[in-house]
Amino acid sequence: MGRRKRLKDKDLFETVEEVWDRQTLLAAYEVMRRLRIDRFAGVVSAGKEARVYRAIGRRGEEYAVKIYLTVTAEFRKSIQKYLLGDPRFRNVDTSNTKKLFFAWARKEFRNLKRMYEAGVSVPRPYLVYQNIIVMEFIGRDGLRAPTLREAAPELDEGELERLAWEALEQYRRIYCCARLVHADYSEFNLMYLDGRLYVIDVAQAVSLEHPNAEDFLRHDVSNIYRFFAKEYGVELPPPEELVGWVKRCETRCPERREERAEASAG
């Protein structure tokens, strides 16, 4: 991670004006109380719907705190496409914006937890409360790790090839062990730290029973193929073969503990 990146993050921190409504502020206090978080230490990312912050605990532990704040037209579409098709969330009242946020945050947390328990490399999930998710901070010295997209230009051919298969292996675990499809799997939603990839942004992931799961799977695998093979010239079998490779599930999953995870995620 170069000097330019550092400056960019600093600029973001200093110029982004925070606008939290009263309820989000109260929710943030409650999260701080429960996890013994001392302070929020800057904006890591200001996306269209969600902001991600770095927060620091009493003993210096770091957390990533993702807060859903804005309803966009795209977000409404996502609700239709990824939330209502999922039996776990069929009864959400879509006319109530707050409830939508809470359901969406809960969905992200449950997906994260399910992947974590299935041995997928994701940030460790800590807590969901209303529109707020708290997880492990992926980074070093107060700076977030780069995404795969940001890291790739500085990596050599061998490392890129290794990471292509690592990205596919993590996907295989999502599919075969967590029994989910990510549905937004790409170089933007993989972080790179110490040679390791971390899968993030899992709110839209759906279970294999979702009517579009197969399409999402193909799309996700094609993204990985496009990025590594087309953009970086890594030699990979064509996407159809990679989809087959994922679906053969020739991987070892940790002992199934989903039921327990589901029960405690609430």
Ligand X SMILES: Nc1ncnc2c1ncn2[C@@H]1O[C@H](COP(=O)(O)OP(=O)(O)O)[C@@H](O)[C@H]1O
Tell me the window of 110-118, 143-151, 184-192, 254-262 that interacts with Mg ion (CB under 5 A).
184-192
Tell me the window of 1-9, 47-55, 234-242, 247-255 that interacts with ligand X (CB under 6 A).
47-55
Site string for Mg ion, 197-226 (x = CB under 5 A): ----x-------------------------
| Three-class DSSP category at 209 | coil
Pairwise CA distance, residues 191 & 151, whole Å: 9
When binding is defined by CB under 6 A, the residue of 31, 103, 138, 261 that contacts ligand X is 138
Q: What are the CA-CA distances from residue 14 to residues 1, 7, 43, 53, 66 (Å)?
A: 20, 11, 9, 13, 18
When binding is defined by CB under 6 A, the residue of 30, 38, 43, 45 that contacts ligand X is 45
Question: To 5 degrees, how large is the angle CA 153–CA 198–CA 89?
Answer: 130
When binding is defined by CB under 6 A, the residue of 9, 86, 201, 220 that contacts ligand X is 201
Per the residue annotation, which of 9, 86, 184, 220 is the catalytic one? 184
Site string for ligand X, 141-170 (x = CB under 6 A): ---x--x-----------------------
Pairwise CA distance, residues 115 & 257, whole Å: 11
Given ligand X, Mg ion, none, residue 137, with its beta carbon under 5 to 8 Å by kind, binds: ligand X
Pairwise CA distance, residues 50 & 65, whole Å: 10
Q: What are the CA-CA distances from residue 165 to residues 60, 148, 187 (Å)?
A: 35, 13, 13
What are the DSSP E strand ranges found in the chain? 37-46, 50-57, 62-68, 125-129, 132-136, 139-140, 143-144, 180-181, 190-193, 196-199, 206-207
Q: What are the CA-CA distances from residue 35 to residues 8, 125, 200 (Å)?
A: 29, 12, 21
What residues contact 46, with CB distance under 8 A and at least 6 apart?
12, 16
Minimum CB separation of residue 244 from Mg ion in Å reads: 27
Identify whether 156 is a catalytic site residue: no
Size of the residue set binding ligand X (CB under 6 A): 18
Identify whether 201 is a catalytic site residue: yes
Minimum CB separation of residue 171 from ligand X in Å reads: 16
Q: Hey, which residues between 97 and 136 contact ligand X (CB under 6 A)?
A: 123, 135-136
Nearer to Mg ion (CB atom), residue 187 or residue 201: 201
Minimum CB separation of residue 186 from Mg ion in Å reads: 8
Minimum CB separation of residue 238 from ligand X in Å reads: 28
Pairwise CA distance, residues 234 & 156, whole Å: 11
Q: Would you name the residues annotated as active-site residues?
A: 184, 201
Contact residues for ligand X, defined by CB under 6 A: 44-45, 47, 50, 52, 64, 66, 123, 135-139, 144, 147, 189, 200-201
Contact residues for Mg ion, defined by CB under 5 A: 189, 201
